[in-house]
Amino acid sequence: MIGSGVSAMTANQTESATQQIKQFALDAGADVVGIADPRAWDEHAPEGHRPYDILPGAQSVVVVGSRGPTAGAWRSPKHRVMEVNGYDFRNDAASHRVADMIESQFDHHAIQSPALPTGGHLPPISMMLAAVLAGLGTRSLAANIILNPKYGLLYYSACITTLECDHDGMLEQDVCPHHMCVESFRRFGKTPCMAACPSDEGGCLDGSIDEEGRIETSYYDRERCVSRAMNFGINSFQKALAQIVAEEDEERQHSMIHSDFFSRSCSAITHYKESVAQCFECMRVCPIGRAERKLQ
C-alpha cells in the first residue's frame, strides 16, 4: 500500500529526495521547479481550496513552470500564430511524470493538482498561488500574471504529494515592477503594461507604484480582459451558440453555423493546441524575461 508503514526520512534523505525530484522535473520538460509547504495555503486560500483538501496528508506541493510560446512565436507578425501555438502542455506532462516518479520511487501518494475551473471560474487549487508559494514568481501589475524573475510569463502545474520534501520559501523580492517600469511610472505615470492596455482608455490595467518601488495598488478588469483575450474558446463558443439557437431565419442560421467565427470557436475547444487566450500585449511589452526572448 502506498504511503503506509513508511518510516520518516532523515534530513539527509529528505534533502536528497528533494534534489532528485527537482532534477527529474527539469529533465521532464519543466523550465523551473519549486516546492511549497501545503500549510502555507492556510493564510491565503479558503477551506476546500488547500492541497490537503485534495490529497489528505499532503506534505509537499511540487510546482513546475514551463514557457509557452517560443521566442520565435513572440516575433511573428501573424498574431494568430501565438493564438494557436502558444501552449504545449509541457508543464502538465512534467507534473504527471513527477507524480509517477514519487509514487514509484518514494512509495508516497502523489497526484496532479487540479487546476481547471470546477465551480464558476474557480479552480480547486490556484496554480498562481502555488507558483508564488513555491518561490517561482510574484504577482504582477499585468493582469496579476505571476512573473518568474528569469522567464517572465510561465505556465504552471503542480503535483501534491504526501512525501515530505524541503520547502522553498516565497521570493523575497518582488519580480514586478521591474526597475525600468518603476522609472517609467515615475516619469509618465504608467508602466509598459498599463500603457499597452490602460483601463482609462478602454483597456484592462491600472495601478500605482509606491516610493519604495513596489506595487501600491493594482487594478485589473478581468471581465473586459476575458472578452478580448478569449475571442475563441469555450466563451466564444457559448456566445455564438446562443446566437445561433436564437436565430429564426434558417438560411442565416446555416451561415452562422458554418462561419469562420463558429468554426474557429469549435476548433479552439478541441484539443487542437489553440491557446485559451488570444491577447498577449501586456506580456509583449513586459521587460521581465525579455533577455530570454532575444535571440539571433
Partner 1 sequence: MTAQKNIDFASAKSELVAIAGKSGALVSGVAAADAFGDVPEGYRPDDILPHAKSVFVIGGAQPRAGDWQSPNYQHMEVTTTSDRMQTLALKMAHIIEDRFSYYAVCVPPGVDRGQQPFMSISMAADLAGCGSRSLAGPVLHPEYGFMYYGAVITTMPLPGDKPFDPPACPAPECVEMYAAQGTTPCLATCPAKAGGCLGGRIEDGRFADRQYDAERCATRVQNYWVPGFQHVLGATLREPDADKQKMMLFSSMFSRTLWSMTYSNVSQGQCAECMRVCPVGREHRTKK
For partner 1, the closer of residues 11 and 295 by Cβ is 295
Phi, psi of 84 (to 5 degrees): -95, -20
For partner 1, the closer of residues 45 and 244 by Cβ is 244
227-to-142, 197, 233 alpha-carbon distances in Å: 16, 14, 11
Helix or strand or coil: residue 262? helix
| Side chain identity at residue 216, one-letter code | E
Cell 517609467 belongs to: 184
* CA gap 259, 240 in Å, rounded: 10
Q: How many helices (H) and strands (E) does the chain have?
A: 13, 9
Least distance from C-beta 234 to partner 1, angstroms? 11
Least distance from C-beta 6 to partner 1, angstroms? 35
Least distance from C-beta 247 to partner 1, angstroms? 9
Least distance from C-beta 279 to partner 1, angstroms? 17
Cell 470546477 belongs to: 118
For partner 1, the closer of residues 19 and 76 by Cβ is 76
The candidate with the shortest Cα–Cα distance to 161, out of 103, 114, 104, 116, is: 103
Least distance from C-beta 28 to partner 1, angstroms? 12
Least distance from C-beta 25 to partner 1, angstroms? 15
Give burial (CB, 10 Å; 0-12/13-18/19+) of 11. Answer: exposed
- Asked whether the beta carbons of 295 and 70 are under 8 A apart, the reply is no
Where on the chain is the footprint of partner 1 (CB under 8 A)?
67, 70-73, 75-78, 80-81, 84-85, 88, 244-245, 250, 253-254, 257-258, 260, 262-264, 266-267, 269-274, 295-296
